[in-house]
Structure 1
């Protein structure tokens, strides 16, 4: 079933990290780091297999595992433009972040 994220691009800004999220298909997303804030390199891009669950209209839980072994789970509230992001890095570091998620305007 197609979700409403598919085919759309968003800017996620959690202060220390700013990325572009492109929901390529129902099961894949490409993230591109705009500002890595020391967590990762600016400009880094990766296509990841996602699991997307719609919690309610315009609110999604999105989870994936990166090539590095990092795992990420977002709760994306597109109605209110709020994102909650949890990431566990390969070294065991755990980050809980809150910020904004907004459609990328062409």
Structure 2
């Protein structure tokens, strides 16, 4: 049912930012690493919450140890991601791009 991202690693590529996200087997923890763009080199692990919006489409949110907040709307079957995040210095970003396993 909710196995689209549980226990899997995904790369998200937005204009100017790329990251790797790995979700725990139960989908309640995300390990992340920003590989390009604002916050490059930041990595960590955070509890996350998710809600299924439609078949294969999930809203996933977490707060990082730095205080940064992240919300993804991920369409796993179509490979599309939208993110809304605020950095610790209160810069707000809205990005969309590709999502791949």
User: What is the TM-score of this pair, normalised by structure 2?
Assistant: 0.90
Cα drift, residue 10 of structure 1: 0.6
User: Could you say which residue in structure 2 is the equivalent of 1:74?
Assistant: 72
Task: Tell me the matched-pair count.
Answer: 99
Structure 2: state its 5+ residue gaps: none
In the alignment, the residues of structure 2 paired with residue 27 and residue 73 of structure 1 have an alpha-carbon distance, to the nearest angstrom, of 14
Name whichever structure is richer in strand by fraction: 2
Q: After the TM superposition, which segments of 4 or more aligned residues of structure 1 sit over 3 Å from their partners?
A: none
In the alignment, the residues of structure 1 paired with residue 68 and residue 43 of structure 2 have an alpha-carbon distance, to the nearest angstrom, of 14
In the alignment, the residues of structure 2 paired with residue 53 and residue 67 of structure 1 have an alpha-carbon distance, to the nearest angstrom, of 22
Structure 1: state its 5+ residue gaps: none
Cα drift, residue 3 of structure 1: 2.7
For residues 55-102 of structure 1, the C-alpha deviation after alignment (integer angstroms, 9 at most, x for no partner) is: 112100000001111111000011211100000122221100010101
Match of 1:55 among 53, 59, 64: 53
User: Could you say which residue in structure 1 is the equivalent of 2:17?
Assistant: 17
User: Could you say which residue in structure 2 is the equivalent of 1:46?
Assistant: 44
Secondary structure of 1:90's counterpart equals: coil
User: What is the TM-score of this pair, normalised by structure 1?
Assistant: 0.86
